[in-house]
C-alpha cells in the first residue's frame, strides 16, 4: 500500500501567503502543513508516500527531505506541466500499480485512514471516496450515495440550483482509496481531472464506487486565508485530535508579558513586558515589543511587532515589520516582508 499526495496546485486562493511558500509547506501551528497528512498516513502504517508536485517543488523537497525525520519514505515527482488531479495520479502511480491512498494536499483532518482502507477492501471497491457533510457544498464536489454508500452521482462545484434540487450536503473530502484499474481510465501524460473526468467515467462504467462518510472527525480544506485561520483556532481549541505541537520553551518571555495557555510560541521569540498574546500562533524568531497585542492571529517566522501595535484576527507573513501603534484587524493578510509604518490601520 502506498500513498500519493496531490500537492501541485498553485494555491492562488491563499495568496499572498503562497507567493514564496507553496501551500503544502505553509506553516500550520509552526510545522509544514503536509506533516499532518504524513502523520495520519504513518499511523495507518503507510510509509511509502509520493508527493506529486508542480509549483515550487524544490522548496517542498528541501523542507521535507527524504521523510526519515518523520518515520516515512518520501518520493517526489514533478510534472513537466500541471496534469490535473487525475493526470498527476497517473503520472506518479503508474509504475507502482498497487492500491493507493490519494490525498488532496490541502486537507486538515484526523480521519482514521486505516479503517477507511479496511472499508474499501470489505466492500470490494475499485474507488472509495471519503465524504464529509458541510453547510455549503458550493466550493466542493457534491457526492450522492445510496443507502449502501454506493456512489450514484458526482457534481464538482455545484450551483445553488443543483444543491437545492439534490437536497444533499455530503462533499468529496479529497481522500480516496484507488485500485490500479483506475489508472487505465486515463492516458499517460495528458491533463485529466478526477472530479470532472475520472469520477464521472467510473460512474458511467458502473465500476464498484463507494463512499466512507466522516461523522465526528475533523475536516477542513485550508485553501483560503479565512479557512487557514479558522483551522488554527480550531486546533488551539483542541478540536483536532492526535497531533503533537512544539510548545517551545526556548523563547525569551518577559515576566510581565501575558500569554494565554492556548497560544503556541515558536523557538527563539522575544516577548517584551506588557505584551499580550491570546489564542494565537507565533512563528519562530518573532519579536513582540512592549504593550503590543496579538489576538486570534497567526504570525509567521521572524516578524517584528513594534510597541503598542495591535494584531487581531489576522495573518502576518514571514519577516514583516509592523510599526508602533499600528492596528491590523478584520482578517487582514500580510504577505512576507510587508512593512507597516507607525500608526497605520488596516
Ligand atoms: N500534482 C498536481 N497537479 N496537483 C494538483 C494539480 C495538478 O495539476 N491541480 C490541483 N492539484 C492539487 C492541489 O495542490 C490540491 O492539493 C488538490 O490537488 C486539490 O486541488 P484544489 O485546487 O485545492 O481543489 P478544490 O479545493 O477546489 O477542490 C477539490 O477539493 C475539495 C475538498 O477540499 C476537489 O477534489 C473537490 O471535489 C473537493 O470537494
Ligand atoms: Mg482545495
pLDDT in tens, 190-248: 999 999 999 999 999 999 999 999 989 999 999 999 999 999 999 999 999 888 777 76
pLDDT score, position 248: 65
Residue 33: CB within 6 Å of ligand 1?
no
Residue nearest to atom 21 of ligand 1 (CA): 9
Angstrom distance (rounded) from CA 227 to CA 339 = 24
**Over its length of 346 residues, how does the chain's per-residue pLDDT go in tens digits?**
999 999 988 888 999 999 999 999 999 999 999 999 999 999 999 999 999 998 888 889 999 999 999 999 999 999 988 899 999 999 998 787 899 999 999 999 999 999 999 999 999 999 999 999 999 999 999 999 999 999 999 999 999 999 999 889 999 999 999 999 999 999 988 999 999 999 999 999 999 999 999 989 999 999 999 999 999 999 999 999 888 777 766 778 888 899 999 999 999 999 999 999 999 999 999 999 999 999 999 999 999 999 999 999 999 999 999 999 999 998 999 999 999 999 999 9
The neighbouring-strand residues paired with 308 are none
CA of 41 to the centre of ligand 1 (A): 19
Burial class (CB in 10 A: 0-12, 13-18, 19+), 105: buried
Query: pTM for the full model?
Result: 0.93
Residue nearest to atom 30 of ligand 1 (CA): 174
pLDDT score, position 47: 96
Whether domain 252-340 has CATH 3.40.640.10: the reply is no
Residue 283: CB within 6 Å of ligand 1?
no
Residue ranges of the alpha helices (H) in the chain?
Answer: 34-43, 57-64, 84-93, 113-123, 160-166, 199-204, 225-236
Angstrom distance (rounded) from CA 254 to CA 317 = 24
* Closest C-alpha to 225, from 217, 233, 216: 233
DSSP 123-182: HT-SEEEEEEE-S-GGGSEEEEE-TT-BEEEEEES--HHHHHHH---EEEEEEEEE-GGG
Catalytic residue numbers, as ranges: 157
- The dihedral built from the CA positions of residue 215, 219, 221 and 226, taken in this order, carries a sign that is positive
Tell me the best of 3, 8, 153, 156 to mutate to test the pocket of ligand 1, counting ligand atoms within 8 Å of each CB and taking the most. Answer: 8
pLDDT score, position 249: 67
CA of 297 to the centre of ligand 2 (A): 22
**Torsion from C-alpha of 24, 30, 31, 37, nearest 10 degrees:** -70
For 186, the 3-state DSSP assignment is coil
pLDDT in tens, 315-341: 999 999 999 999 999 899 999 999 999
Task: Please name the fold of domain 2-225.
Answer: Spore Coat Polysaccharide Biosynthesis Protein SpsA; Chain A (3.90.550)
* Closest C-alpha to 307, from 327, 321, 293, 289: 289
CA of 101 to the centre of ligand 1 (A): 15
Angstrom distance (rounded) from CA 258 to CA 213 = 42
Residue 141: CB within 6 Å of ligand 1?
yes
Domains in the chain: boundaries: 2-225, 252-340
Closest ligand 1 atom, residue 54 Cα: 1
* Closest C-alpha to 123, from 95, 98, 150: 150
Residue 198: CB within 6 Å of ligand 1?
no
Closest ligand 1 atom, residue 82 Cα: 8
pLDDT score, position 96: 79
Residue nearest to atom 4 of ligand 1 (CA): 8
pLDDT score, position 57: 87
Residue nearest to atom 25 of ligand 1 (CA): 140
Amino acid at each position: 500500500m502506498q500513498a500519493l499526495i496531490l500537492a501541485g496546485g498553485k494555491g492562488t486562493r491563499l495568496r499572498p501567503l503562497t507567493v514564496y511558500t507553496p501551500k503544502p509547506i505553509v506553516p500550520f501551528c509552526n510545522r509544514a502543513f503536509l506533516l499532518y497528512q504524513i502523520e495520519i498516513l504513518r499511523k495507518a502504517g503507510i510509509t511509502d508516500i509520493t508527493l506529486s508536485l508542480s509549483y515550487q517543488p524544490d522548496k517542498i523537497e528541501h523542507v521535507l527531505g527524504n521523510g526519515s525525520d518523520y518515520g516515512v519514505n518520501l518520493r517526489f515527482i514533478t510534472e513537466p506541466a500541471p496534469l490535473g488531479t487525475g493526470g498527476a495520479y497517473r503520472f506518479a502511480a503508474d509504475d507502482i500499480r498497487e492500491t493507493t491512498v490519494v490525498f488532496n494536499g490541502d486537507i486538515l483532518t484526523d480521519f482514521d485512514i486505516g479503517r477507511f482502507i479496511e472499508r474499501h477492501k470489505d466492500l470490494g471497491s475499485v474507488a472509495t471516496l471519503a465524504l464529509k457533510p458541510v453547510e455549503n457544498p458550493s466550493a466542493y464536489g457534491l457526492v450522492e450515495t445510496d443507502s449502501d454508500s454506493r456512489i450514484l452521482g458526482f457534481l464538482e462545484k455545484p450551483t445553488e440550483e443543483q444543491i437545492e434540487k439534490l437536497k444533499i450536503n455530503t462533499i468529496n473530502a479529497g481522500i480516496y482509496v484507488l485500485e490500479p484499474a483506475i489508472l487505465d481510465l486515463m492516458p499517460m501524460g495528458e491533463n485529466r481531472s478526477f472530479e470532472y473526468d475520472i469520477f464521472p467515467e467510473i460512474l458511467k462504467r458502473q465500476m464498484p464506487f463507494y463512499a466512507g462518510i466522516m461523522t465526528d472527525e475533523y475536516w477542513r480544506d485550508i485553501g483560503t486565508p479565512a479557512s487557514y485561520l479558522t483551522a488554527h483556532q480550531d486546533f488551539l481549541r483542541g478540536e483536532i485530535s492526535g497531533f503533537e505541537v512544539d510548545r517551545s520553551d526556548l523563547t525569551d518571555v518577559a515576566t510581565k508579558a501575558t500569554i494565554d495557555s492556548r497560544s503556541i510560541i515558536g523557538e527563539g521569540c522575544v516577548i517584551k513586558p506588557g505584551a499580550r498574546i491570546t489564542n494565537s500562533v507565533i512563528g519562530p524568531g518573532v519579536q513582540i515589543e512592549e504593550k503590543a497585542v496579538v489576538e486570534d492571529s497567526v504570525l509567521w517566522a521572524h516578524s517584528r511587532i513594534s510597541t503598542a501595535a495591535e494584531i487581531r484576527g489576522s495573518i502576518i507573513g514571514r519577516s514583516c515589520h509592523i510599526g508602533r501603534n499600528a492596528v491590523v484587524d478584520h482578517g487582514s493578510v500580510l504577505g512576507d516582508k510587508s512593512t507597516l509604518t507607525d500608526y497605520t490601520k488596516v
